[in-house]
Structures are given as structure tokens and as C-alpha cells.
């Protein structure tokens, strides 16, 4: 039988067996014949992972480009750039970004990067790729819902993207969409149809997240292979599980807030609006409260921080252990600390609202709960450092980005302690200190986790390696650049420089930061260029990268490396491997590593493994 | 040549996903009712009686829960004729519930309790309306069950779809009872 014929017959078996596995009523039998069903409306979790990743990369380029544009304004507030007008038209009249465009760019930058890149792009990619592969499942619990999850995200993307092209521009009231700017169509130019499109897009996005989350939880709890007990799951899986739990419980609350907002915009209700005058004319709304929106928003908004960072934490834990050739330190403490983070994430939302007139007693309560998160976070940092301590380190690009993650998580986390204190937060609120804090801890850290994941699992996704030289340049430029961008912002914030100001140079007290802001903007452009280099490396390597020749290139213990180099739909051609041990048996009994599929020796059984 | 092994599953994936989805939907209504509680504590809260038809619709949806449960039992016993009757009755009751809610909205509107009126009234429209949307999802599932029951060529006798539909229907029923009690007490 020729190779091609063998391949076809294997695919047929995969399809038939997989359909049988899920029962006749599931409607997701595989017909992998056509391009459309194989690459567009694919039901294979690995293809859906790639779809999320590539869409996420496109969004990341757009979101980052927006930050480069508004940093031009912040770095060079008095300069004009005639080429801007040729690109942005009336949004950059005379070569200078208009205030309306500036606020739209800031809003879209935040929305895109928080939701479309670091939530959908990060979690969508790696949860999809790794959950079935690492727990030993043929696919997700419901491949059809999984496919719908991506396409709901894609639709959300189309709607959000289309808002960039409407005459009045996209939403411009900030990524948090606080009313009244978001609730009143006449509040600003960005409150018009751009805001409606923003809300529709976000509703679709929430649907996508819920469909994905249901699948992740269901697959992890219900479809693990024989022997894969909860305590034998890799930390990546634990992190994806907790992320999905956070998502399915907090996104619906955000959706309820958005529904009320839509009624305020178009139904004449007054959930968030009260006692307002527009152009001297009194509106009929009364009894509403914008603070109510903030409660509903931040009930998602704070868990969202962990929805972004938890998957990165899981992947970094895995990559640090693999490339230190050491067992992860404190596995159960790692799981326990993630669980504690999940519980606390739901109880701290009001620390975003210390300046809204919150009762000081209530404020003290939220301070305490907020600071408590430092404990599980510190446990995780301690365990990462102890894992690499005296390890036989391999500085692969994935490992470097993982170490970079730990570094930025520490520096970003420490400033979180400042902001968690209501007394300090009242001074620092809405200053560049806040920008610096959250960009380092949930922007840069999460991106470092993502990059670590992409570099580490690229061979599994595409059967090729990324170029290492470009990867090292990418890492060092990004690490140094990130600190050069965000470290100085802490000082600006402490000195009181406010965020969201279009033309800070009009204030004498903030003019002193002109040189610093110019420096930051130049570094932003350099770091952006480094990201474009990564994008080039990514797409070039998919087709031209060095081919993977072994199924387990990193000498890892987890199940995804027991599949063929390019696994088909169904993942394993024969039996799904059985699991006997935890995923971190490195440097054990004289062996470099022992895969999870190797049965325990009689001695190990005696020791009670 | 290798053949692929079966996938280990403890519970049917659709049932598992449904339970998680119900948790998620519950959180959305917790969001709504929490917002309601916060608003109710503020000044100028307007109190009014819920339309009587909402109580009648409660009886209708309760009855539909009984009929769908009986339908599941008949399906498991392969008593398909009786199953068809019960699933049809459930679908009719589901549509009747939706009609009752719609009449309730009309009555409120005609008595001057408009969507753009006081927040307490707006909340009723939004909360009951969003619940109704979820009920309509269930009605759509029931209509699919109804269509399948009368299909001449039956491919499978798997009870999973009807069990999933029944669980969801009980959920929207329970959710409505919770909402009705909540909206009656926290007026």
C-alpha cells in the first residue's frame, strides 16, 4: 500500500472511530475530505487552536499598532506627521491625531488586547491545543460547539473591526465602557453607532467564551484517559480548567450589565443614567446609577485579569520544569494557590472602585481580600524559582520567555500591593502608575506566557521549529523594551500624571515629562518592530522552518508528545495511552525523564506513587 | 493496521456541558437580581403588583415540566406513541407559557407600566424578557424533539437528546419560579 493510500485509510478509521466514540446523536462525525471542513469549519481542536492563534496574532498587530499611533501623540504632542493624514484621513487632520481619534485608539487598543488577544487568542489557542492532547482525549467534549466558539469569536471580530470604518468611528469611552459615555448616544462621537457595534461584538465574544469554557471544563472533568486522575494532570490543564471556571461564572454577569446598557441606549430605561443635561437640555432619565454598571463590569473585570494570567501561569510552570529538567516544586501548592486565586478573584472587584464613594468600612474589607491574593501569588513565584533552582537549565526561547514571565509577574505583582491599599490607591488612581502596573502584570507577563507557549508548542502545532536567532532577538528586545517603557511610567504616576489625557503638555506640571514620554514612545516603536519580526518568524517557519524529526523534541513527559509529529483528527492512531504517573518525573532514578505512560516500577509502587 | 480505541467518558458530554451552561445562565440572572437589589435600596423605588397572568404562566410551565418528565419515561420504555403525545403537549405548554408572558407585558404596558418608566418596571421587562428568551431556546429544542418524534425513519433510540432537553426545561422552570418569588418578595 502506498503511503498516501495508508494515510487515507487511517484518516477514514480516525473519522469512523471518532464518530463512534461520541455516539450517533452528536452530529459531529468527521468528513475531512474538503478544504472547507478541514481548515475552515474544522471540528478538530488542533485546527481550531491554530484558528484562534492566527486570528489572535492579527488582532495583536492591530492592537499594538494603535498603541504606536497614540504614543506618537503622547511622545510628540506638538509635532505633526503629514503621512498620518494620508493613512487616517480626517482622524489625523493636519498630520496630528485628533482628540476623538486618540480616545478611539485608546479604547480599541484596550478592548482588542484584553479581550480579543489575551483572552480569546491566549486561552482559545492553548486550551484548544493542549486540553485533549494532555488529558488523553480524542477531541473536545463537543467539537461542534468548539467550532461554533471560534466562529462566534470571528463574528465578534468582524463586528468590532467594522466599527473602525463607520463614519463616526469606533467606541471611544474606554475599554471599560463606563456610562454615561457608553449609555448616551449623544455623549460623544464615539458613543454613537461605534458603541452599539462594540456592545454587539462583546456580546458575541461572551457567547464564544462561554461555548469554549463549557467545552474545556466538560472535557477535563469527563474525558480524561485511563489513569489520568486529577492529581496527575499537568499544571497547564489545571490552569485552563480554573480559567474556564472563572470565565463561565463571570462573563454572564458582564453580559447582564451589557444588556442593561443596551436598554439604556435604546429602550429609554434609566438603569445607569440620572439627572443629565446634554447641550443644556435636561434628559428624562432619573434614578439611575453609573456605579451600578461599575459593580457589574468589575465583577467580570477583576476575574478577567486572572482569565488572562492563569493560562500563562500554567504554561510557564510546564516549560520551566521541562527546561530545568527538574520536577515542578510544590505541585499541590501550585494547584491550591490557583484555586485560592479563583475564589479571591470573585471577591475583590470593588478595589477598582475605591474612589466611587465606597463606604470606607467596605473598602477596608476589599483591601484585605485584595492583599490576600498576594499569598497564593507569592507561593507560585516561590515555586517557580525553586523549580529552576540548581536545575540543568536549557535556555530555549520558550524557557527565556518563561523566566521573563516570572520577572515581570514579580515586578507587576509588587506594585499591585500598592494599588490594593485604598489609601494609596486614592492618590494613584487613574495615573500612569496604574497603567504601568497592569501593563506589566497582565499585559507583558501574559504576552511572555503566550510567547513561551508558542515557542514551546510550535513543533507540535506545525511539525517545524521557529528560528532561534530571531527568537532570541525577539526576547531580549521585548524584555528590555518592556521595562524601559513601563518602569518610567511608575514615576510619572507617582508624580500625579493622569492617564487618558490627550494633550498633557498643556499642563505646566506634566510638561516636565516630555522627554521621558518621547523616550517611551521611541522604545514602543522599537518593541513593536521586534513583534513584527516574531510575526515574520511565525509565518515563515510554518512553511520553511526546520522540520521536527522526533515526536518528543523537548524530552518531555506529557501526553501530547506521544502523538505522531503531525497528529490527525483523533490524536492517537491506535489506543489512547494510559497514564501511570504525574507529569513531572524529571531527573529521577538516574533517568533524564520518565513519560507519564511508563508504568510504575515495583519500588515506586511501594513508595506509594 | 491500528484501529482507534474508544474514548473514556464518565457522563455524556452534552449532559455535562448543559450542567455547566446552566451554572453560567444562573450567574447572569444573579447579575440581574443583584443589580435589582442594589437599585431597590436607592431612593424613589416604585412598587407595583405583578400581572396575575404571570402566576397563571407559572402553573403552565410547572405542568410542562411534569409532561416532559413523563415523556422521558415513555421514551425510555420505548412507548413511542405515548411519547409523541407527551412531547407535543409539552411543546404546546411551552408556547402557551411564552404567550402568557407576552400578554403580561401587554397588560403592564396598557396600565402605564412602560419599559422606559421607573427602574422597578424596567427591570421586570428585562429580567422576564431575558428569561423568556431562554424559554424560547427550550421551545425550539422541544419543537426539534417534536419533529424527530414524528419522523418516519428513526435512526437512533438514544435518550440523550430528550434527557438534555428535559433537564434544560426543568431548569428554566425552576429559574422562573425563583424569579417570580424574588420579584414578588423584593418589590
d(CA A420, CA A442): 15
Partners of residue B130 in chain A, C-beta under 8 Å = 259
CATH number of the domain encompassing residue B100: 1.20.120.80
Helix, strand, coil proportions of chain A in percent (round to 5)? Answer: 70, 0, 30
Residues A123-129 have a mean pLDDT of 97
Question: Would residue B178 count as lying in a domain?
Answer: yes
* Number of domains making up chain B: 1
Question: Would residue B11 count as lying in a domain?
Answer: no
CB within 8 Å: A222 and B118: no
State pLDDT tens for residues A224-237. 999 999 999 999 99
Percent of chain A with pLDDT over 70: 94
Does the structure show a pLDDT above 50 at A22?
A: no
Per-residue pLDDT band at B4 (split at 50, 70, 90) = low
Q: How many secondary structure helices (H) and strands (E) does chain B include?
A: 5, 0
Our CA-based measurement puts residue B11 at a distance from the nearest CA of chain A, in whole angstroms, of 6
Q: Which of B4, B31, B155 sits opposite A256 (nearest CB)?
A: B31
Strands (E), chain B: none
What is the reported pLDDT for A11? 38
User: CB of A169 within 8 A of CB of A190?
Assistant: yes
CB within 8 Å: A142 and B14: yes
**Other CB atoms within 10 Å distance of the CB of residue A114:** 22
Partners of residue B160 in chain A, C-beta under 8 Å = 23, 25
Question: Would residue B20 count as lying in a domain?
Answer: no
Q: Which of B17, B27, B115 sits opposite A269 (nearest CB)?
A: B115
Per-residue pLDDT band at A287 (split at 50, 70, 90) = confident
Helix, strand, coil proportions of chain B in percent (round to 5)? Answer: 75, 0, 25
Question: Would residue B10 count as lying in a domain?
Answer: no
Q: Which of B16, B28, B38 sits opposite A221 (nearest CB)?
A: B16
Question: Would residue B13 count as lying in a domain?
Answer: no
Q: What is the ipTM of this complex?
A: 0.93
How many CB pairs (< 8 A) connect A and B?
Answer: 163
Partners of residue B31 in chain A, C-beta under 8 Å = 252-257, 296, 299
d(CA A31, CA B187): 55
CB within 8 Å: B20 and A248: yes
State pLDDT tens for residues B32-50. 999 999 988 887 788 899 9
CB within 8 Å: B5 and A137: no
Containing domain of residue B62, as a range?
A: 51-186
Mean pLDDT lowest for which of A183-187, A259-263, A315-319? A183-187
Question: Would residue B29 count as lying in a domain?
Answer: no
Question: Secondary structure of A206-244 in the HEC alphabet?
Answer: HHHHHHHHHHHHHHHHHCCCCCCCHHHCCHHHHHHHHHH
Residues A94-108 have a mean pLDDT of 95
Question: Would residue B3 count as lying in a domain?
Answer: no
Q: In 3-state terms, what secondary structure has residue A538? A: helix
Q: Which three cell numbers stand for residue A198?
A: 462594540
d(CA A90, CA A31): 49
Partners of residue A221 in chain B, C-beta under 8 Å = 10, 16
User: CB of A72 within 8 A of CB of A521?
Assistant: yes
From residue A438, give the alpha-carbon distance in Å to each of A116, A283, A489.
Answer: 17, 37, 11
CB within 8 Å: B17 and A248: no
B:144-163 residues touching chain A, CB 8 A cutoff:
155-156, 158, 160-161
State pLDDT tens for residues A487-506. 999 999 999 999 999 999 88
Question: Would residue B12 count as lying in a domain?
Answer: no
pTM above 0.90, yes or no: yes
What is the reported pLDDT for B156? 65
CB within 8 Å: B115 and A255: no
Closest alpha carbon within chain A to B3? A574
Amino acid at each position: 500500500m502506498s503511503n498516501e493510500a495508508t494515510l487515507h485509510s487511517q484518516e477514514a478509521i480516525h473519522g469512523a472511530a471518532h464518530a463512534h466514540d461520541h455516539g450517533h446523536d452528536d452530529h459531529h462525525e468527521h468528513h475531512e475530505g474538503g478544504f472547507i471542513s478541514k481548515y475552515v469549519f474544522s471540528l478538530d481542536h488542533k485546527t481550531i487552536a491554530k484558528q484562534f492563534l492566527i486570528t489572535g496574532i492579527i488582532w495583536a498587530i492591530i492592537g499594538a499598532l494603535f498603541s504606536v499611533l497614540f504614543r506618537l501623540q503622547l511622545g510628540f504632542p506638538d509635532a505633526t506627521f503629514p503621512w498620518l493624514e494620508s493613512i487616517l484621513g480626517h482622524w489625523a487632520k493636519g498630520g496630528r491625531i485628533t482628540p476623538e481619534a486618540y480616545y478611539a485608539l485608546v479604547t480599541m487598543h484596550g478592548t482588542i488586547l484584553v479581550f480579543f488577544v489575551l483572552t480569546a487568542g491566549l486561552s482559545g489557542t492553548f486550551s484548544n491545543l493542549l486540553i485533549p492532547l494532555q488529558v488523553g482525549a480524542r477531541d473536545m467534549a463537543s467539537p461542534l460547539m468548539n467550532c461554533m466558539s471560534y466562529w462566534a469569536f470571528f463574528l465578534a471580530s468582524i463586528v468590532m473591526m467594522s466599527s473602525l470604518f463607520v463614519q463616526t468611528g469606533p467606541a471611544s469611552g474606554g475599554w471599560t465602557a463606563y456610562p454615561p459615555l457608553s449609555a448616551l448616544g449623544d455623549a460623544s462621537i464615539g458613543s454613537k453607532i461605534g458603541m452599539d457595534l462594540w456592545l454587539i461584538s462583546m456580546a458575541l465574544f461572551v457567547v464564544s467564551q462561554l461555548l469554549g469554557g463549557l467545552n474545556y471544563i466538560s472535557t477535563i472533568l469527563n474525558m480524561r484517559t485511563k489513569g489520568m486522575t486529577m492529581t496527575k494532570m499537568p499544571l497547564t490543564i489545571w490552569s485552563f480548567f480554573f480559567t474556564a471556571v472563572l470565565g463561565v461564572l463571570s462573563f454572564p454577569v458582564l453580559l447582564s450589565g451589557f444588556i442593561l446598557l443596551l436598554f439604556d441606549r435604546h429602550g429609554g430605561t434609566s438603569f445607569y443614567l440620572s439627572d443629565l443635561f446634554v447641550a443644556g437640555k435636561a434628559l428624562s432619565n432619573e434614578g439611575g446609577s453609573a456605579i451600578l454598571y461599575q459593580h457589574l463590569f468589575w465583577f467580570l473585570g477583576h476575574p478577567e485579569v486572572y482569565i488572562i494570567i492563569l493560562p500563562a501561569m500554567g504554561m510557564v510552570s510546564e516549560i520551566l520544569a521541562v527546561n530545568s529538567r527538574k520536577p515542578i516544586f510544590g505541585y499541590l501548592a501550585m494547584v491550591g494557590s490557583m484555586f485560592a486565586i479563583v475564589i479571591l478573584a470573585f471577591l475583590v472587584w470593588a478595589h477598582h472602585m475605591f474612589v466611587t464613594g465606597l463606604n470606607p468600612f467596605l473598602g477596608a474589607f476589599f483591601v484585605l481580600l485584595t492583599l490576600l491574593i498576594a499569598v497564593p501569588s507569592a507561593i507560585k513565584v516561590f515555586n517557580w524559582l525553586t523549580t529552576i533552582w540548581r536545575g540543568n537549565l536549557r535556555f530555549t526561547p520558550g524557557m527565556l520567555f518563561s523566566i521573563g514571565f516570572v520577572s515581570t509577574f514579580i515586578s507587576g505583582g509588587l506594585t499591585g500591593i500598592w494599588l490594593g491599599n485604598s489609601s494609596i490607591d486614592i492618590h494613584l488612581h487613574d495615573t500612569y502608575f496604574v497603567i504601568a502596573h497592569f501593563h506589566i502584570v497582565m499585559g507583558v507577563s501574559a504576552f511572555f506566557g503566550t510567547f513561551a507557549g508558542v515557542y514551546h508548542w510550535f513543533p507540535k502545532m506545525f511539525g517545524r521549529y521557529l528560528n532561534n536567532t530571531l527568537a532570541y532577538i525577539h526576547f531580549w528586545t521585548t524584555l528590555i523594551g518592556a521595562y524601559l517603557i513601563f518602569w518610567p511610567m511608575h514615576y510619572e504616576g507617582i508624580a500625579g500624571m493622569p492617564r487618558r489625557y490627550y494633550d498633557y503638555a498643556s499642563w505646566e506640571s506634566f510638561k516636565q515629562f516630555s522627554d521621558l514620554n518621547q523616550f517611551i514612545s521611541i522604545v514602543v516603536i522599537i518593541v513593536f518592530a521586534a513583534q513584527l519580526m516574531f510575526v515574520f518568524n511565525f509565518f515563515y517557519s510554518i512553511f520553511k522552518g526546520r522540520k521536527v524529526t522526533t515526536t518528543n523534541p523537548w524530552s518531555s513527559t506529557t501526553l501530547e508528545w506521544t502523538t505522531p509529529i503531525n497528529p490527525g483528527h483523533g490524536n492517537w492512531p491506535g489506543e489512547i495511552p494510559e497514564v501511570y504517573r504525574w507529569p513531572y518525573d524529571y531527573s529521577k532514578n538516574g533517568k533524564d525523564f520518565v513519560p507519564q505512560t511508563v508504568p510504575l516500577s515495583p519500588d515506586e509502587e511501594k513508595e506509594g506513587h | 493496521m491500528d484501529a482507534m480505541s474508544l474514548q473514556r467518558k464518565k457522563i455524556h458530554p452534552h449532559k455535562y456541558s448543559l450542567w455547566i451552561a446552566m451554572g453560567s445562565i444562573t450567574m447572569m440572572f444573579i447579575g440581574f437580581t443583584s443589580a435589582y437589589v442594589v437599585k431597590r435600596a436607592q431612593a424613589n423605588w416604585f412598587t407595583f403588583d405583578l400581572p396575575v397572568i404571570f402566576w397563571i404562566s407559572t402553573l403552565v410551565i410547572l405542568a410542562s415540566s411534569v409532561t416532559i418528565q413523563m415523556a422521558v419515561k415513555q421514551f425510555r420504555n420505548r412507548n413511542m406513541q405515548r411519547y409523541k403525545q407527551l412531547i407535543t403537549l409539552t411543546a404546546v405548554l411551552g408556547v402557551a407559557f411564552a404567550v402568557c408572558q407576552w400578554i403580561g407585558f401587554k397588560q403592564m404596558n396598557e396600565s402605564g407600566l412602560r419599559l422606559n418608566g421607573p427602574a422597578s418596571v424596567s427591570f421586570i421587562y428585562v429580567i422576564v424578557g431575558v428569561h423568556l428568551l431562554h424559554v424560547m431556546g427550550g421551545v425550539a429544542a422541544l419543537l426539534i424533539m417534536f419533529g424527530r418524534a414524528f419522523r418516519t425513519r428513526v435512526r437512533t433510540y438514544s435518550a440523550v437528546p430528550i434527557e438534555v432537553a428535559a433537564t434544560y426545561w426543568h431548569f428554566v422552570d425552576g429559574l422562573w419560579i425563583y424569579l417570580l418569588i424574588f420579584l414578588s418578595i423584593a418589590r
